[in-house]
Amino acid sequence: MTVTFPKGFRSAGIAVGLKSTGKPDLALVVNDGPARAAAVVFTSNRAQANPILWSRKVAQNGPARAVVLNSGGANCFTGDFGYETTRLTAEAVATALGSDPNGDASDSAADDILVCSTGLIGTGDQSFRDKIVGNIPQLVQALAADDTTAPAAILTTDSVEKTASHEGDGWRIGAMAKGAGMLAPGLATMLVVITTDAHIDNEVADRALRGATGGSFDRLDSDGCMSTNDQVTLLASGASGVTPDEEEFAAALAAVCDSLAAQLQADAEGASHDIDIEVMGAASVADAVEVGRSVARNNLFKAAIFGNDPNWGRVLAAIGTTEAAFDPYQVDVSFNGVRLCHAGGPDRPVDECDLTPRKTHVLIELYAGEHTATVRTNDLTHDYVHENSAYSS
């Protein structure tokens, strides 16, 4: 189940030739209301793609009606031509929706259309523009309330589609995502569209989305590289007529985002281990995240996991670079349930620890407080280096 699982939404995904594979590469998600609300979270990278620059303005105007997404080109660092391509894309969607017999034509405008792109940075010519803009009418014609084609159209190096859903008491959430490389906070490289038919306002949507992304996507730190194109969009249609308790809705949204983050981690480029770094006993949540992230970004640790080597000394060396409050000589470290380090010294023999399973759990106990956080990462492999050494070729 994907973005059309909730009521009030239609979507479509088609192939327009942006990808050399001939696979779908242009998608559209439309919110048909009747009571639209929206929230958007963008990359914190200062280098931002043209769709991000455009969508930031759209998000300030009020709840967006639709989001159009392409794979096969990031449209980033493509100058005025690239920004104009984004604007023309939004205008084409607004025009096509304005004459859509199956939708509400009363308020179609370019500044109601969010735009997302993903792919190679620094590319985007007239052919790229024509393939997108010229095929928008076909894309709108393909819109359906039972669509399952959109998730495939946003993939780049992903090997699988990524979707999640939640069913509440009379209301629903549906979601789709892409992401396999450049996975680091702010938000972790991804395009995510989340839909709900809950009757909520923009303020509730924004609070819930920021809380959900902060505890999920912002704690996915696969390779320490931050994208220029990250965008997570939440669209609410109000079509269920049900207004859930805000806390209940926020928890459901957080669970959906957490599921997507786990799927992104599992599909990370070239990875052979999915590593959950759980930090317990921190003086604050911020300290727990900082400690977990220091390990997630440590290439020596990541290489050791690739080699199935439970080198706990690299964990202590990594966390010692942080400003978190703890005594490194009181720390315990466990790998896959085996405590290898106790109070800053050796504990169980390392040969008791099996790191051959793909799923890997590292537990760091700081004994400095009562807070906890988990940061997701992956190992550093030959396949990751190979795939990214030839990405643009």
Residue-wise pLDDT for 89-103, tens only, equals 999 999 999 876 666
- Active-site annotation holder among 4, 43, 78, 189: 189
Stated pTM of the model: 0.92
Higher pLDDT, 166 or 183: 166
Mean per-residue pLDDT of the chain: 92
C-alpha 140/C-alpha 134 separation (Å) is 12
pLDDT of residue 119: 85
pLDDT of residue 185: 47
Q: Give tens-digit pLDDT for 144-180.
A: 999 999 999 999 888 899 999 999 999 999 999 998 6
pLDDT of residue 190: 79
Q: Give tens-digit pLDDT for 44-85.
A: 888 899 999 999 999 998 899 999 999 999 999 999 999 999
189 is annotated as an active-site residue: yes
pLDDT of residue 212: 96
Looking at residues 252-280, what average pLDDT do you find? 94
pLDDT of residue 385: 77
For the chain, the three-class secondary structure string (H helix, E strand, C coil) is CCCCCCCCEEEEEECCCCCCCCCCCEEEEEECCCCCEEEEEECCCCCCCHHHHHHHHHHHHCCCCEEEEEECECCCCCHHHHHHHHHHHHHHHHHHHHCCCCCCCCCCCHHHEEEEEECCCCCCCHHHHHHHHCCHHHHHHCCECCCCCHHHHCCCCCCCCEEEEEECCCCEEEEEEECCCCCCCCCCCCEEEEEECCCCCHHHHHHHHHHHHHCCHHHECCCCCCCCCCEEEEEECCCCCCCCCHHHHHHHHHHHHHHHHHHHHHCCCCCCCEEEEEEEEECCHHHHHHHHHHHHCCHHHHHHHHCCCCCHHHHHHHHCCCCCCCCHHHCEEEECCEEEEECCEECCCHHHCCCCCCEEEEEEECCCCCEEEEEEEECCCHHHHHHHHCCCC
Q: Give tens-digit pLDDT for 21-36.
A: 899 999 999 999 999 9
Residue 257 has pLDDT above 70, yes or no: yes
Contact 16, 25 (CB under 8 A): yes
Q: Give tens-digit pLDDT for 191-219.
A: 999 999 999 999 999 999 999 999 999 99
Binning pLDDT at 50, 70 and 90, where does residue 388 land?
confident
Q: Which domains does the chain have, with CATH numbers?
A: 9-266 (3.60.70.12), 274-389 (3.10.20.340)
Residue 20 has pLDDT above 90, yes or no: no
Q: What percent of the chain has pLDDT over 90?
A: 80
Calculate the alpha carbon distances from 78 to 48, 93, 129, 182 in Å. Answer: 11, 21, 12, 20
Looking at residues 219-240, what average pLDDT do you find? 90
Q: Give tens-digit pLDDT for 99-122.
A: 766 666 555 799 999 999 998 888
Looking at residues 310-336, what average pLDDT do you find? 97
